[in-house]
Amino acid sequence: MTPSEFEIPENLRKALAGEMEGMSFSAATWGLRFPFVPDLADLSKEAKLVGVDREQPTLGLLRRGRRLVAIKALRTTSEIVEELAQLPELRMAFLAEPERAGNLTQLARCPRLEHLTLYHGLGLTSLDILAKLESLRSLTLIHCPRLDLSTLPHLPALREFVMHG
């Protein structure tokens, strides 16, 4: 893997800066490729973008990526959510199977988190856990069939809400 794989691609850079005139954040970043590393021990400290595709015994190494801006977790666990709270630059998170994490309240410790996608949340029933995400600008929910939308808290910065499935 080359270091450039872990850099922010142009379309994400523009979307984070709000420079995608006429496009929503989700449309501007649809199909964004995340570089996955088999072992987080190999994650560069300069990485800004990464994918985590399985539970890893070296998960604690994720916090080495203190410059991470965007992450995609294909199996969200409590440990992953705890690690996200240690990433001061995190602005975008794509979390698959979020109910596996048990409680997503640790996301409140991500002060710069602006864009959140919850994917395949089959057991997810409430969004009240998002109440403290005051910087959240976009929320995308994909295949969360049991979710009670009346639990969506007031999110003052929210500008985009997308729901699929």
Query: What's the pLDDT tens digit per position in 85-133?
Result: 889 999 999 999 988 777 788 898 998 999 999 999 888 899 998 999 9
Q: Which segments of 35-123 does DSSP mark as H helices, in order?
A: 78-84
Taking the model in full, what pTM does it have? Answer: 0.92
The encoded tokens of residue 42 equal 């190999």
Encoded amino acid at 116, one letter: L
Asked if pLDDT for residue 3 goes beyond 80, the answer is no
Q: What does the alpha-carbon distance between residue 140 and residue 142 come to, in Å, rounded to a whole number?
A: 6
Q: What does the alpha-carbon distance between residue 55 and residue 75 come to, in Å, rounded to a whole number?
A: 7
Please choose, from the candidates 87, 98, 90, the residue with its C-alpha nearest in 3D space to the C-alpha of residue 114: 90
